[in-house]
Structure 1
Amino acid sequence: MVASLPLPDDAPSADVPRARAWHELPARALDTSAEHPWPVRLLARKIEQYVDRMAPVWVEGQVVQLNRRPGTSTAFLTLRDTDQDMSLPVSAAVRVLDGKLVEEGAHVVVHAKPVFWSRRGTLQLQAREIRPVGVGELLARIEHLRRVLAAEGLFDAARKAPLPFLPGVVGLVCGRESKAEHDVVVNARERWPQVRFEIREVAVQGPHAVQQVGDAIRELDARPEVDVIVVARGGGSVEDLLPFSNETLVRTAAACRTPLVSAIGHETDSPLLDLVADHRASTPTDAAKRIVPDVSEERARVGQARTRIRAAIEGRVAREQSGLDAVRSRPVLASPEVMLVDRAERVAALRDRARRALDTRLVRAAGEVGRLEGQVRALSPASTLERGYAVVQRADGHVVRSPDDAAVGAELRVRLAHGELSAHVLRADREAAS
């Protein structure tokens, strides 16, 4: 494919080596290669043609530079994005600005035609109309953003971190040599002289405020020794406080892990940073009172606590002493030997009773033993022998009870009460035995 639009003033030069005719150049960017590149002039012209086909567009931004040269019909300004560090140059006829309150820092919407200057390789907007954004519209946009962020939960109380009782280092984000810095530092040191500050002086209004304040918050949040961060500014108009309702800055504050105190305005000012911060102070002086305790008040509280502790201890000791006195006044503790004497007497009485009971039992048992002894003696064979009877036994020890138990001539053993006799059976007389 070849270029379809010849450019007379871009004809190839005879002095350029390998110069090619326009019909030999690729027509599309996709068709270019290292062997078949586009000349810079062709690329610039094609960008110019593409941009020229763009329709006029409404653009919103902040004026960061405004240059009106006396005697000229054209004014130049730079339009910057309010959230990102991006900007575009804008040219406008002086009549477009006449009667408009447009100055550096103003928030505006511009109806402009994009123009690409091919020889300089720059893109510019040619403004046809410029409208400053009114306070009512700004407030409406802030309110819309507030509802969006609230729906995301960025303002929920559960997300807010408590302030430390006594921070070691306080990070302070404020304007350069501002009254807010003086109010925070002086009042905080009057309350607690040992407090230390890490101060970051930044732009707190204007086009660079969002970027600089956000960078300062992130830097202080990354430092582990910083226990609390204060963003302070001494109030201002709605336009002056716009950076503190910027979505980028509000989200940066919401992502901050260190407790954040917002001290932007006065009682009537309510930028969105106040809502996302962990604590809102009505003024920089109020912020100083919130971040550090008053040393005189703390000393007074310590003194009161010591007085209460002393009174409590003294009362407890007095009650315990009274209890001890009451216990010691009892007879058992006044004369403890009384208890021992009583117990000793009881032990002696019980011992006597036990001795008498044992004696009685022994006497009774002795009588019983004597009776049983008499019975046993009466039933004993020895007693029978004492009465003249004898026990006749064979040689094998068998007791002879009948004549048939001993044969004639058998040797017998006769046991008497006081000895034994040996006998021989001469005859057996059964009749005499019967």
Structure 2
Amino acid sequence: MTAKTSPEQPLPIRSVLQMVAQWIGRLGVVWAEGQITEFSSRGGTVFLTLRDPVANVSARVTCPRGVYEATVPRPVDGARVVMLVKPDFWVNRGSFAFTALEIRPVGVGELLARLERLRQIIVAEGLANADRKRRLPFLPHVVGLICGRDSAAERDVLENARRRWPAVRFTVEQVAVQGPYAVTEVTEALRKLDADREVDVIVIARGGGSLEDLLPFSDESLVRAVSACLTPVVSAIGHEQDNPLIDLVADVRASTPTDAAKKVVPDVGEQLTLITQLRDRGRRVVTGWLDREHAWLTAVRSRPALADPVRELDRRAEQVDALKDRTRRSLSSSLDRAEDSLTHLRARLDALSPAGTLRRGYAIVQRPDGEVVRQAAEIKENDLLTLRFPDSRVTVTATADPTP
């Protein structure tokens, strides 16, 4: 391949192809894993395509019939195998292919081990966490359905959903649900429906099958595509006992396609029954409340204060009259006692007053300045004195010294 060439000194194409074949022949043999597709046989040679189950990559493989028949069990279209291959370049046709020297089927135990490792990776990354799950809409306007072409799963989902809610609409994407193209087609349909704003929920449905048939739904690329969807996804793959990895990341897992229809749309009959029950319950609650309020109002109206308001006024008026009479009697009694006390006090004052003494025949001797003469020795001859009687007074002149 390092030969010097130019437009003037080109190499013949046979030389170029021989050089390519020499370089490819230096690669030796290698073990490769893949999925068999496009299986055919002619004469003593078996022709097939070995496809990578994850990436959209494949290569042609020719297998001598003896090598193919020596493999137990014999591989069929869609089988996962490990091959010891040698790269060959056919100079005459300018084509490249692998030649199979040995074929070994990938056993179920190994498949399960690989699925378990992938499951652990998904769980470790948090793709299966419950907090990432989204709730399904109560009544989706449009349901996206990914299923096989003319499959029983499609009929189960459509018929059961429309039986439960006749007005539900579907956008159906029919794809391959097993085989080499299943992962690619399901992923493309999933992205298409996720980009459609009218689609409220996506259902991925497939009937039951063997572990190998359901392998596309445990493919890592498809699992991550489901996890990245913005639209809620319902996984309805296989039967109850089937657990593809897509079930881990889907927002809701349905045991069967029929179960998926029940989870996606409500039953119109059940909803009408529920509405009727709630309406009856609401009527009973309101009626009970009205009955309680009516009973309370009746009890309030039956109270004396509201049953005969004037009676209460009359009772209060009687109380006022009684208090008024009591007040009058109390005041009259107090006045009588005060009058008696005043009479007794007046009598005592009269008994003790000088006027009372004078009325008993006594007189008071006073000087002109009003000073009372208490003893006769205080009087001198010719002193002017006033004699005070109960009803009058007389002025006199002392004529002789008083006798002791």
Instruction: Give the corresponding residue for 2:180.
Output: 207
Distance in 1 (CA, whole Å) between partners of 2:25 and 2:304 is: 117
Identity %: 54
Distance in 1 (CA, whole Å) between partners of 2:214 and 2:106 is: 14
Instruction: Give the corresponding residue for 1:67.
Output: 40
Counterparts in 2 of 1:130-149, with a 5 A limit? 130-149=103-122
Counterparts in 2 of 1:301-340, with a 5 A limit? 301-338=274-311
Candidates 257, 267, 291, aligned match of 1:284? 257
Candidates 84, 87, 97, aligned match of 2:58? 87
1:252 maps to 2:225 = yes
Instruction: Give the corresponding residue for 2:198.
Output: 225
Q: CA deviation at 1:343?
A: 7.2
Once the two structures are superposed, residues 86-105 of structure 1 have per-residue CA deviations (whole angstroms, 9 ceiling, x without a partner) of: 11111121111014311211
1:171 maps to 2:136 = no
What letter corresponds to residue 242 of structure 1 in structure 2? L
Q: CA deviation at 1:66?
A: 1.6
Q: CA deviation at 1:260?
A: 1.0
Distance in 2 (CA, whole Å) between partners of 1:55 and 1:284 is: 49
**Aligned positions, number:** 325
Instruction: Give the corresponding residue for 2:69.
Output: 98
Distance in 1 (CA, whole Å) between partners of 2:321 and 2:105 is: 117
Instruction: Give the corresponding residue for 2:125.
Output: 152
Q: CA deviation at 1:326?
A: 1.1
Q: Name the SS of the counterpart of 2:50 in structure 1.
A: strand
Q: What TM-score do you get using the length of structure 2 for normalisation?
A: 0.74
Distance in 2 (CA, whole Å) between partners of 1:47 and 1:322 is: 104
Distance in 2 (CA, whole Å) between partners of 1:250 and 1:281 is: 16
262 and 20 in structure 1: CA distance in 2 versus 1, 3 angstrom threshold: same
1:19 maps to 2:8 = yes
Distance in 2 (CA, whole Å) between partners of 1:265 and 1:66 is: 26
Distance in 2 (CA, whole Å) between partners of 1:276 and 1:161 is: 11
1:122 maps to 2:95 = yes
Distance in 2 (CA, whole Å) between partners of 1:21 and 1:183 is: 66
1:77 maps to 2:48 = yes
Q: CA deviation at 1:338?
A: 4.8
226 and 325 in structure 1: CA distance in 2 versus 1, 3 angstrom threshold: same
Q: Name the SS of the counterpart of 2:40 in structure 1.
A: strand
Q: Name the SS of the counterpart of 2:200 in structure 1.
A: strand
Q: CA deviation at 1:50?
A: 2.7
Instruction: Give the corresponding residue for 2:336.
Output: none
CA RMSD of aligned residues (A): 2.8
Q: CA deviation at 1:51?
A: 2.0
55 and 314 in structure 1: CA distance in 2 versus 1, 3 angstrom threshold: same
What letter corresponds to residue 148 of structure 2 in structure 1? G
Q: CA deviation at 1:48?
A: 3.3
1:198 maps to 2:171 = yes
